[in-house]
């Protein structure tokens, strides 16, 4: 519709219109200046050079628009002052039982998601097993694809443990991009483990000294993987006191009898798998502790709301039943 305001690019099109239609469109076209958007705020570099320290503090207190705004430079900030995200409104409208159900469902969903993510990371191993089952060679038919199945099962098991150790089970809110990063880092640690095992196997075949590697799930290796840096060399130490301190902090929150059961199960595992199982177990215990804290906080909030309703004379039937059962 730019030709209604006399755009030169469409003048020829306007001349080809029927005279009566052209007169009608010109009479109905809006008149006056076109509305303009608010001017973009000046860059901070220019403002810093021209403003005093007092004015700088005022600029730093300028209201920030939420991410839902199309104009992240501060325009229309006054219209977003009373804005409440839709998810916040939904959370506020939920009852106590719904909040508890959301906490438990979120934890169960994370546990189920680990299986799906581990399956994606082991897609190549799964395809090898599938092709072996579908069209096996003579040797594979005799062994019933035992080697391919063992390789896939170990990949799936280790990937799941690495995901747990990297915090995939934690109850903190994460975006899909953050979950994908954890998935990639878990696969990176798995590939590093495969390289280390290949070097050890080669050294044994050649009769060379077996190289000693730092644990793939050490604090340093996890930090390097999460930061996108290359992992450690074979010459690094085999222990990490900071790792032990964090592990002891988790164990201190577990009852002695349960800890004895966990340690007994770990002692029965092969030495090469014991460290991975221990890290995955500790990560799972951390996630369970986080979920328990959220459930406890929900119970406390529910009790406070129940007491407020009682003081205001607005107790529900459920509040009366809980009081008779001694929940107060």
pLDDT per position as a tens digit, 132-181: 999 999 988 899 899 999 999 999 999 999 999 888 988 788 888 888 99
Are 6 and 123 in the same domain? Answer: no
Residue 311 belongs to some domain of the structure: no
Give the count of domains, the chain. Answer: 2
Q: In angstroms, rounded to a whole number, what is the distance separating the alpha carbons of residues 156 and 266?
A: 19
Are 8 and 117 in the same domain? Answer: no
Q: Which of 4-13, 277-286, 303-312 has the highest mean pLDDT?
A: 277-286
What is the pLDDT of the chain when averaged over all its residues?
Answer: 77
Q: For the purposes of burial, counting CB atoms within 10 Å of the CB of 186, is it exposed (0-12), middle (13-18) or buried (19 or more)?
A: buried
Q: In angstroms, rounded to a whole number, what is the distance separating the alpha carbons of residues 306 and 146?
A: 60
Are 26 and 104 in the same domain? Answer: no
Residue 63 belongs to some domain of the structure: no
Residue 204 belongs to some domain of the structure: yes
CB < 8 Å & 24+ apart, contacts of 160-163 = 160/114, 160/115, 160/118, 160/280, 161/276, 161/277, 161/279, 161/280, 162/186, 162/189, 162/190, 162/216, 162/217, 162/276, 162/280, 163/114, 163/117, 163/118
Q: In terms of residue numbers, what domain contains 13?
A: 1-31
**Predicted local confidence at residue 1, as pLDDT:** 45
pTM of the complete model: 0.65
* Token pair for 271: 């030495």
Q: In angstroms, rounded to a whole number, what is the distance separating the alpha carbons of residues 148 and 162?
A: 21
Are 149 and 275 in the same domain? Answer: yes
Residue 145 belongs to some domain of the structure: yes
pLDDT at 235 over 50: no
Residue 176 belongs to some domain of the structure: yes
Are 147 and 23 in the same domain? Answer: no
Q: What is the mean pLDDT of residues 17-29?
A: 71
Residue 244 belongs to some domain of the structure: no
Quote the percentage of the chain above a pLDDT of 70: 74
Q: Give start and end residues of each alpha helix (H) in 51-95.
A: 53-60, 86-92
């Amino acid at each position: 519709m730019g030709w209604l305001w006399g755009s030169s690019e469409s003048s020829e099109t306007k001349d080809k219109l029927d005279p009566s239609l052209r007169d009608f469109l010109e009479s109905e076209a809006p008149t006056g200046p076109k509305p303009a958007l608010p001017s973009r705020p000046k860059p901070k570099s220019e403002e810093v050079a021209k403003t005093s320290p007092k004015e700088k503090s005022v600029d730093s207190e300028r209201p920030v628009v939420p991410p839902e705004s199309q104009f992240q430079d501060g325009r229309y900030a006054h219209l977003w002052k009373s804005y409440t995200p839709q998810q916040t409104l939904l959370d506020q409208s939920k009852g106590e039982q719904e909040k508890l159900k959301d906490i438990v469902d979120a934890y169960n969903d994370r546990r189920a998601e680990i299986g799906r993510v581990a399956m994606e990371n082991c897609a190549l191993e799964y395809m090898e097993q599938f092709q072996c089952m579908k069209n096996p060679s003579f040797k594979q038919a005799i062994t019933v694809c035992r080697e391919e199945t063992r390789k896939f099962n170990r990949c799936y098991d280790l990937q799941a443990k690495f995901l747990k150790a990297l915090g995939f089970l934690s109850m903190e809110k994460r975006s899909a991009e953050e979950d994908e990063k954890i998935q990639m880092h878990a696969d990176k640690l798995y590939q590093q483990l495969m390289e280390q095992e290949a070097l050890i196997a080669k050294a044994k075949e050649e009769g060379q000294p077996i190289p000693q590697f730092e644990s793939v799930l050490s604090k340093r290796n996890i930090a390097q993987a999460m930061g996108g840096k290359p992992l450690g060399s074979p010459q690094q130490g085999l222990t990490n006191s900071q790792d032990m301190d964090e592990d002891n902090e988790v164990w201190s929150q577990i009852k002695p009898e349960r800890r004895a059961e966990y340690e007994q199960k770990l002692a029965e595992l092969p030495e090469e798998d014991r460290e991975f199982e221990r890290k995955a177990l500790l990560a799972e215990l951390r996630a369970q502790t986080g979920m328990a804290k959220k459930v406890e906080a929900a119970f406390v909030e529910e009790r406070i709301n129940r007491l407020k309703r009682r003081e205001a004379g607005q107790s529900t039937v459920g509040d009366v039943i809980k009081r008779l059962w001694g929940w107060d």
